[in-house]
Chains A and B, each alone.
Chain A
Amino acid sequence: MQSVNQYFLNIYIAIKSVLIGMSITFRHLFTKSVTVQYPRERLPIPGTSRNLLLNKIEDCIGCDQCVRVCPVNCITMDTIKVFPEDDLGLASDGSKKRLWLPRFDIDMAKCCYCGLCTYPCPTECLIMTDEYEYATYERNDLVFKFTDLDPIQIAELKEKDHIRSMEKEKKKLETAKQAAAKPGKNGGKSGEGT
């Protein structure tokens, strides 16, 4: 008898739960949907969110700290020391810019969005922006180049830098030669020393 009761109870519970479920879904049929029609509507992104990196290159002093801290090595930086005749002006925090930056590339395909590079930046020129839609067709297009120098300028600078380094080398050689020209004194001294 008990199993018969259980049988009818089961049927009753099944029908009741189906009806309850149907009433719930029917109510939800008319509740406002939570969908955000993405390309047309957007949710505001939080202020601390980490997205596309941006380097305000005119403020960058080329201190290399971001390159060193990056855990995935996605920042590549080339620097050229300024020549005595150049004046690059001051960065926003008042420090003097002493380096040309012919190359400041961030490979966003490698970037892991840890944000570590933005903290050590002394002039706060490397920041995370709000931009998060920068899908590209080519992987190379994800390498963002921030230098403000055009290729001709870069070539000139490199040439100039090359000449400078050659001169330096020459000077070094000359000093070495001069040092070698007075071997006796030098050698005697060292000989005395030992």
Chain B
Amino acid sequence: MIQAEYYNIFVKIIDQLAVLDFLPPVWKFILASVIAALVFFHVIAIFALVAIWVERKVAGHIQDRLGPMETGWHGVLQTLADAIKLLIKEDIIAGGIDRRLFVLAPVIVFMTALAVFVVFPVGENFIVSDLNIGILYIVAISTLVVPGIIMAGWSSNNKWSLFGAMRSAAQIVSYEVPVGLAIVCAVMAAGSLSMQTIVESQAGGFWNWFIFSKFPFGFIAFFIYFVASLAEINRTPFDLPEAESEIVAGYMTEYSGMRWSFFFLAEYGNMLAVGAIATTLFLGGWQTPISLLSFIPGPVWFTAKTMFLVFVHIWLRWTLPRLRVDQLMYMCWKVLTPFAFVSIFGIGLWMTF
């Protein structure tokens, strides 16, 4: 279970390139990190382009509309057009705001969304860095988003921004508890914090995935993780921090153009990240559901499962109305947290006997 060295696919690739032999290993490592960051930046950007289009199409069809239809085939290029519009938009920084923090906030929020991608086991040999504390690293990085959001809300010098930031911070800090407890369930079942080990311990068919193998505790933990992670990334029905009808756009009110689109990219990056974490912890990661289908490579399974969860996010968003603040807190502290403890206890018993 203990791994003596950190496995990094990008370092391995760069090690194999003879052209770069003159570089010392540390510089190779830095180069690999930069390449990994760029790759995952583009993964997020392209995912966001597609996901926003899918979201608008799904939203349209759920409401018996068509959604975007004009730009390209069934509007596939609509998001690209919107992105170009955002890029060439004027960068408005209103008067009376704290300029330094205002500029820094979207960077921090997006950085946290990006940094999480380091430990996702996309395939058997495809992981940027199989940290031994993988899942703990994810929890640590995702806490950094709270100061980023508070920074955005505070520096905007706007009451809606501040309210949005306060709500967001309160919500994320509260929902970290059920998220953490649900993660602990999977960690206990796998006996490791490393993402790759967690996936490997779910090998051999879908009945070995933690969602099914520790029934019903695994299922409860998955359910809690899914609901609480929705709240962590401020998606509907937990989108109080950016509730349009109450506080304009929450902490994003004063942002426009590219800075705003970084918040948006972070939101979609977080959707992808949360789907990937749930896939890794409970749905067997890149493992095939039945051994018959093992000719399909692992990354395809991982992506398919993650995309399915992202679709459920979108589906839920256009089904449920927004919760009230007290309902939100009731759900967190009085429903999800006790059930998470129950499932921890159940899995503990299961692992003991």
Which residue numbers of A lie inside 8 Å of B, CB to CB?
7, 11, 18, 21-22, 24-26, 28-35, 37
Contacts and interface: CB of A to CB of B under 8 A. Distances in A.
Interface of B: 58, 60-66, 69, 315-316, 318-320, 334-335
Contact of A25 (B65, B318, B334): B318
B320 A18 contact: yes
Contacts, number: 39
B319 A11 contact: no
Given A11-B335, A25-B62, A25-B315, 12 more contacts: A7-B334, A18-B320, A22-B316, A22-B319, A25-B318, A28-B64, A29-B58, A30-B61, A33-B61, A33-B65, A37-B66, A37-B69
Contacts of B60: 33, 35
B61 A28 contact: yes
Secondary structure dominating the interface of A = helix
A34 B64 contact: yes
B62 A29 contact: yes
Contacts of B62: 25, 28-29
B61 A29 contact: yes
Nearest to A24: B319
A26 B319 CA distance: 9
Nearest to B331: A14
B320 A21 contact: yes
Nearest to A11: B335
A84 to B, nearest CB: 62
Contacts of B335: 11
B320 A34 contact: no
B315 A26 contact: yes
A28 B67 CA distance: 14
20 contacts: A11-B335, A21-B319, A21-B320, A22-B315, A22-B316, A22-B319, A24-B319, A25-B62, A25-B315, A25-B318, A26-B315, A28-B61, A28-B62, A28-B63, A28-B64, A31-B64, A32-B64, A33-B60, A33-B65, A35-B60
Nearest to A30: B61
Contacts of A11: 335
A11 B65 CA distance: 32
Contacts of A32: 64
